[in-house]
Homo-oligomer: A and B are copies of this chain.
């Protein structure tokens, strides 16, 4: 049996900070724009060289730095590399160690499945079982998505009494299963033995409250085995990351903000929806995202605009492409400024150095421009400069407090 995730902390500190902002948040007509350039931070390719951001020509971002206050955002803790979930939760003002999105819930969110309060989601991997029922291929021969989608279709035939079951394809051998019913609970162990030549594990409950969910999952697996018995590759499965929808106080509750999310990819739309943002528009490009921003400007107080390609180019190790993407972002800044936001923030959810071809733990250069900013003497938007900024090196989870303060949306604490 896999180890259960480490226990959720008692969360006192986080509760205090959320209660504080809930108490102090005031209604206002001021507007806040949060531009998240995914994976923004980088590294030089060679010792003594420049990072992607330092290489890019960014006159408009530099302008924000000159009139604003900057800093280096630490997504979770020094040295901790976040995924997209914790990275965004931090920026949204939720301590990513206190609020955790289970893997299954994140996967469901990532494909645009809207989880309800009675749902438990798990990530599924098809695998190949031999005649003895032992796993012979943990990824079902990396079955192509077209084939996998047909297998998923066959699983719509599973019927479990008292529970509604949703099976959704992801990519290749990966899928998501969601169980919907009263009394379900995410505390169920993974069934993936992480090895071949052994049988998939039974779904086991970590806690008594999850006993029913473990039974439901077992029933699902058993029916699936029968339905898929004749599949050449995908005749078995393992399930991982059972999780309910995380309980996050909404933007409206915490900040009294009507918040809009303007994103292209389902994962970021899903994360925004988890904190109660409204998805606006169906943009496909950055320019269309800014069009959407302009179109809904009167209807919201807060706007989350997600730009994906600073991350994906970093993941690809494409330094020059990442530089170009940063410059693409720079070019739309004047259009955003022209709308007259009271607070305009540009940051990232984590660093994705092209050198590493992956997310990293390095702090993220961050700038906040507002008329209420105290000048910090910086001239250029870069990793090196932001270290010396007026916000210093700060936890990402405090960015929303700074946004609210500079938008003059927080009252005084104590007399």
Chain A positions near chain B (C-beta within 8 angstroms): 5-6, 9-10, 12-13, 15-17, 19-20, 22-24, 41, 43-44, 47-48, 51, 67, 72, 76-87, 96-98, 100-101, 103, 106-107, 356, 358-363, 372, 374-377, 383-384, 387-394, 398, 401-406, 410-415
Contact = CB atoms under 8 A, between A and B. Distances in A.
Q: Give the 4 A-B CB pairs with smallest separation, nearest first.
A: A79-B401, A79-B405, A6-B19, A392-B393
Max chain B Cβ within 10 angstroms of own Cβ: one of A15, A390, A414: A414
Contacts of A361: 402, 405, 410
A81 B405 contact: yes
B390 A78 contact: no
A169 to B, nearest CB: 18
Nearest to A82: B413
B13 A410 contact: no
Contacts of A383: 374
A115 to B, nearest CB: 15
A365 to B, nearest CB: 11
16 contacts: A16-B97, A16-B98, A17-B77, A24-B80, A79-B404, A80-B405, A80-B410, A80-B413, A81-B412, A85-B414, A107-B415, A360-B405, A363-B390, A387-B388, A387-B390, A392-B392
A77 B47 contact: no
B415 A84 contact: yes
Nearest to A405: B79
Given A47-B67, A48-B375, A377-B384, A79 B410 contact: yes
Given A23-B6, A392-B387, A393-B392, A82 B374 contact: no
Given A360-B405, A376-B384, 14 more contacts: A5-B23, A13-B13, A24-B80, A80-B410, A84-B414, A85-B415, A86-B413, A356-B372, A361-B402, A362-B374, A387-B390, A387-B392, A392-B392, A393-B394
A363 B402 CA distance: 12
Contacts of A86: 413-414
A387 B376 contact: yes
A98 B17 CA distance: 11
B43 A374 contact: yes
Contact of A391 (B10, B78, B384): B78
Contacts of A24: 80
